[in-house]
Amino acid sequence: MADQDTIIVLSTDAIAAREREAAVREFYGRICMRLDLAPLERGELRLSASTIILPGVSVAHGQVAPMAWERTAALQQDANDDVVVSWIAGGWRFDTARHEAVETSPGAPCIMPMDRSWRARAQNGDWTICARFARSTLTPLLRHVGGLRPDAINPGTPEARLLLAYIEAVARGAISPGLAPLAAQHIADLFAAAVGANREVDKVVAGRGVRAARMHAIKRYIEENLHRARLSAETAGRGLGLSPRYIRRLFAEEGQGFSDYVMQRRLERVHRQLASPLFSARPIADLAFEAGLVEPSTFYRQFRSRYRMTPSEVRAGRAP
């Protein structure tokens, strides 16, 4: 689990109604986000959010009522020059004094630099995801961090989809202190790839964040499709928009074949179920079939080879 000192959780439902607006404006808005918050259409300032602090990066997910966020000239006196990228269900309207307003499509990212004045509005905040970078985290990867347009990330690219998926996985998951620096670097790498880093940096990014995020996406796809007997590098490739050859190469670099990994996860799933009283009434053959192991002879042979026990022996409680 992440260290409790690195997690900030806030829900307006936990604040007394008479104190809610002042607390949200002052604590979450001005202190945590360094922004002025205001409800839209005479609504309430209601939100729930969880933020994880990583080295040089923070990630958050939550829900918000229709609301406006403003980075004022007065707040800029803090000299904060972080860069924020945020997704929200209904899309953003982003206004600055320097450029015409930018409206992002629903669920598309918007880049919000903290070193200038702007106002962002969102009518639908059923879900929101964001990452906030210390500028020093991005400058080794991007030459012109300060010149990024709010809509610099094309949401339809593989890099943009990987960036969102990885940030969401970190924001909703549990990161150990030892993995926090690695996760932070991966997020920064993916951001650089999504906005289009220079070629030299692209090579570094491809070897770190993009590759790690793609492997994460492949393994998640495998977990979600273990029940499919015909799960293969080809079907995973079609589902993820990657070539089967590339998928196999990623696994080879980890010292394991794609099919071997799938078999390992299937056997681990069945073993876990056999050892659990929750599945004691289920026939072993059914558990194997539901894990995509449709050939009984192959299942029993592979299971015994891996665990040095038969499925029945594991169910009987004779597992080591």
Pairing of strands 102-103, 67-71: unpaired
Q: What pLDDT was estimated at residue 141?
A: 84
Confidence of residue 4 (pLDDT cuts 50, 70, 90): very low
Q: What pLDDT was estimated at residue 252?
A: 87
CA distance 317 to 276: 10
The ranges of the chain annotated as CATH 2.60.120.10 are 4-209
Of the given ranges (108-122, 134-148, 231-245, 253-267), which has the lowest mean pLDDT?
Answer: 134-148
* 282 has a pLDDT exceeding 80: yes
* Tokens encoding 58: 């923070």
Q: What is the CATH number of domain 4-209?
A: 2.60.120.10
The ranges of the chain annotated as CATH 1.10.10.60 are 225-315
In this prediction, residues 77-93 reach a mean pLDDT of 94
Burial 14-32 (b: 16+ CB within 10 A, else e): ebeeeebbebbbeebbbeb
Q: What pLDDT was estimated at residue 1?
A: 38
Residue 253's contacts (CB-CB under 8 Å, 6 or more residues apart) are none
In this prediction, residues 175-189 reach a mean pLDDT of 87
Confidence of residue 318 (pLDDT cuts 50, 70, 90): low
Measure Cα distances from 266 to 224, 227, 248 in Å.
Answer: 11, 8, 18
Q: What is the DSSP letter of 105?
A: P
Q: What pLDDT was estimated at residue 209?
A: 63
Q: May I ask the CATH class of domain 225-315?
A: mainly alpha
pTM: 0.66
Q: What pLDDT was estimated at residue 85?
A: 97
Confidence of residue 117 (pLDDT cuts 50, 70, 90): very high
Dihedral of alpha carbons 155, 161, 166, 172, sign: positive
Confidence of residue 200 (pLDDT cuts 50, 70, 90): very low
Q: What pLDDT was estimated at residue 32?
A: 83
Residue 29's contacts (CB-CB under 8 Å, 6 or more residues apart) are 35, 36, 37, 69
In this prediction, residues 177-203 reach a mean pLDDT of 79
* Tokens encoding 49: 């959010």
Measure Cα distances from 178 to 1, 182, 218 in Å.
Answer: 10, 8, 23
Average pLDDT value over all residues in the chain: 87
Of the given ranges (17-26, 125-134, 277-286), which has the lowest mean pLDDT?
Answer: 17-26
Q: Please classify residue 253 by burial: count the beta carbons closer than 10 Å to its beta carbon, then call 0-12 exposed, 13-18 middle and 19+ buried.
A: exposed
Dihedral of alpha carbons 235, 239, 243, 248, sign: negative
